[in-house]
Amino acid sequence: MPTLNRILLVSDHSTSTESAVRYAAALARQTQASLVVMQVIDTRVTAFPRWTDIFRSSEVIAAKETEGRAALEHLAAHPALDGLDVQYLIDRGRPADRMTDMAPRVDLIVMGTGDSDSAAGLAAQRTAREVVHGSSTPVLLVPPSGGGTTEPPAPEPAWQRLLLAIDLAGYAPKAIDIATSLAATHHASLLALQVLDPKKTSGYPVNIGEGMHHNIEGLKVLLTKRLAEVLPDISDGPPYLRQVVEGEAAAVIIAQTTAHQADLVIVSAHPYGTIQKLFTPSTIDTLLAEASCPILAVPMPRSALV
């Protein structure tokens, strides 16, 4: 992975925070990066447990701050953080906004994916989606592992099988750089996956004759060649795996993650507006809900969005 000097670890009340702590600590130790542990107190009225709490908002927010400070104190005692350069930060406001505001000041954001088993987990899931689509720096999203605080932290993330989900019609070049760097650092296998959606064949950047976009098998061959161009093999490492699989993006990525037994999925993250967010959930949104391993979302360069 490119040089990490400062990592932001998001603390929330979901079960995935424990897993996120171990990954953030391992990466900080491996790269000698400093760690900022951030807890955001959601002061919006819509985040109050009951509507009647608007009449006692000061008391409710004070209780939230007390709970937030207790959560940071609990994390400060986590054995995975021993010996690391750690700064603890409490902020107020809309959580996703405060986290994306921090993005330009760090090299990586690490946070849990949340879960569907509790109100806190669902809130964390929504925040994770918003941060992914709004962050200017890569975001590592870690699902719950079920491990407790007594589980010893790994000396480094066990990334041996990487899956790079790439859409040749539009992707973040930095995602390729990170994927190849991780593969070299961890001596891991790397699968580059292009999903071919039969409903969107005209959108793929390959040179084929008019009317040939309906030739799915021919399109697969051309996309495989294009994958080899953007991700060429290196002379001093194992060859990369490349697959073009027909289907719907999220479903194919989830299936291939399982089939490949991937330890990490790397994807490009596109920002989207309010209408798109409400009516057309992105591939990453679906992946987060079904994640079985960490997901590294790499933001699209601003120049590619103009």
Rounded to the nearest 10 degrees, the angle between the axes of helix 119-134 and helix 283-290 is 150
Judge contact between 168 and 226, C-beta under 8 A.
yes
Q: Specify the pLDDT at position 24.
A: 93
Q: Specify the pLDDT at position 305.
A: 45
Please determine whether the domains at 6-142 and 161-305 fall in the same fold group of CATH: yes
Phi and psi at residue 123, in whole multiples of 5°?
A: -65, -40
In this structure, of 64-68, 163-167, 178-182, 227-231, the range with the lowest mean pLDDT score is: 64-68
For 60-96, the three-class secondary structure string (H helix, E strand, C coil) is HHHHHHHHHHHHHHHHHCCHHHCCCCEEEEEEECCHH
| Average pLDDT score, the chain | 82
Cα separation values, 106 from 4, 68, 91, 98, Å: 8, 22, 16, 13
**pTM of the prediction?**
0.85
User: Which of the four pLDDT bands, split at 50, 70 and 90, describes residue 81?
Assistant: very high
* CATH number for region 6-142: 3.40.50.620
User: Which of the four pLDDT bands, split at 50, 70 and 90, describes residue 204?
Assistant: low
Domain boundaries, the chain: 6-142, 161-305
Judge contact between 122 and 116, C-beta under 8 A.
yes
In the predicted structure, residue 299 carries a pLDDT above the cut 50: yes
In the predicted structure, residue 156 carries a pLDDT above the cut 60: no
User: Which of the four pLDDT bands, split at 50, 70 and 90, describes residue 53?
Assistant: low
Q: Specify the pLDDT at position 51.
A: 61
Q: CATH assignment of 161-305, given 3.40.50.970, 3.40.50.620, 3.90.550.10, 3.40.50.300?
A: 3.40.50.620
